[in-house]
């Protein structure tokens, strides 16, 4: 499989990345560990060797599962992308939101990217992942209480020490990216991006292209709403935040269903699924190095990987764009 460099770094990734948020269980209504381990191993079998995780996904559980699944795999056979800067253990940093963990225990989440905290989080991730280096280490969210240059200095040290190969950010604005680049070279910005969530195209994408950075889109399938699997009466497990998504509102669901009908017809003509079509569309967008797609079992990663063999003609892409625009779905 052809690999792509992330930004100007020497970290190469597959066009599709195994997104490991869901396997942590938190905010997804739980997850089965055996299914998750099997899914990661299936991913490697299919050539999707890039895995994106984070400490906050299940409060360490996602990283631990990834480490367990890859324990016997040669280190140069896969690429690990993980993150730092989400603090649920102390009150340090910028208050983000309050939630509950899978046991129902209340959690106050803070965004915190102080230098010592970033360095410690890297050590914790290395331990959970059972590895001695991370391919791409990313700040999960901007932290208004910590100067950007302080966080970037931590990344510089980690690169100098060989504990990370490249540094990236997530959810950074164009201005925050420019400020960070004064201190260190960033490889990427991981942002929310899908057919119907396109805010980043306005200024983040142009700023990334100008700096030679890559965009790593997350939620390309809008947490499943761009797969055709949900409708206004869909039921979700306890703790699954999709139950309160804006897409569950009748007017939004009505528009989405019309787009799904267009995508379904196109997918049927290619003997593909809607999810595969959506992933292919996202991989083909300008500035994209790899697209994150979650999977909780082998069947889901097998479906996601099917997108790699698809192609979309210019006419098909125009039809998709016209449908999105006519329905007023772009946000």
CATH code at 72? 3.20.20.100
3-state secondary structure of 2: coil
Task: Locate 121 and state its tokens.
Answer: 């989080």
3-state secondary structure of 24: helix
Among the ranges given (19-28, 51-60, 75-84, 226-235), the one the predictor scored with the smallest mean pLDDT: 19-28
The C-alpha atoms of residue 276 and residue 293 are separated, in whole angstroms, by 10
Q: Residue 175 has what pLDDT?
A: 98
pLDDT tens for each residue of 71-107: 999 999 999 999 999 999 999 999 999 887 767 788 8
| Residues marked as catalytic | 57
**pLDDT above 60: residue 292:** yes
Report the alpha-carbon angle 44-49-52, nearest 5: 120
DSSP state letter for 197 = B
pLDDT tens for each residue of 153-183: 999 999 999 999 999 999 999 999 999 999 9
Structural domain count of the chain: 1
Place of tokens 């309160």: 244
Range of the domain at 142: 4-327
């Amino acid at each position: 499989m052809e690999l792509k460099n992330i930004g100007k770094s020497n970290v190469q990734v597959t066009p599709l990345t195994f997104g490991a948020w869901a396997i942590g269980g938190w905010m997804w209504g739980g997850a089965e560990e055996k299914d998750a381990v099997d899914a990661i191993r299936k991913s490697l079998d299919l050539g999707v060797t890039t895995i994106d995780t984070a400490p906050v996904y299940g409060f360490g559980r996602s990283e631990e599962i990834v480490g367990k699944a890859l324990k016997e795999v040669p280190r140069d056979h896969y690429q690990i992308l993980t993150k730092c800067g989400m603090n649920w253990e102390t009150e340090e940093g910028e208050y983000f939101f309050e939630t509950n963990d899978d046991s129902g225990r209340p959690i106050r989440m803070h965004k915190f990217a102080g230098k010592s905290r970033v360095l410690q989080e890297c050590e914790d991730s290395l331990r959970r992942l059972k590895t001695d280096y991370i391919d791409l280490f990313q700040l999960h969210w901007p932290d208004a209480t910590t100067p950007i240059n302080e966080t970037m200095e931590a990344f510089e040290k980690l690169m100098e020490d060989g504990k990370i190969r490249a540094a990236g950010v997530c959810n950074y604005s164009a201005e925050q990216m420019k400020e960070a680049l004064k201190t260190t070279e960033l490889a990427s910005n991981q942002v929310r991006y899908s057919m119907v969530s396109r805010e980043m195209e306005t200024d983040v994408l142009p700023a990334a292209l100008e700096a030679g950075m890559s965009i790593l889109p997350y939620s390309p399938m809008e947490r499943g709403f761009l797969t055709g699997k949900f409708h206004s009466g869909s039921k979700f497990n306890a703790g699954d935040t999709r139950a309160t998504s804006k897409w569950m509102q009748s007017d939004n669901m009505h528009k989405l269903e019309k787009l799904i009908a267009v995508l379904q017809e196109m997918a049927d003509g290619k003997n593909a699924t809607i999810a595969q079509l959506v992933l292919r569309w996202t991989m083909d967008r300008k500035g994209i190095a790899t697209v994150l797609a979650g999977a909780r079992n082998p069947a889901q990663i097998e479906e996601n990987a099917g997108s790699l063999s698809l192609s979309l003609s210019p006419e098909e892409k125009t039809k998709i764009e016209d449908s999105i625009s006519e329905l007023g779905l772009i946000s």
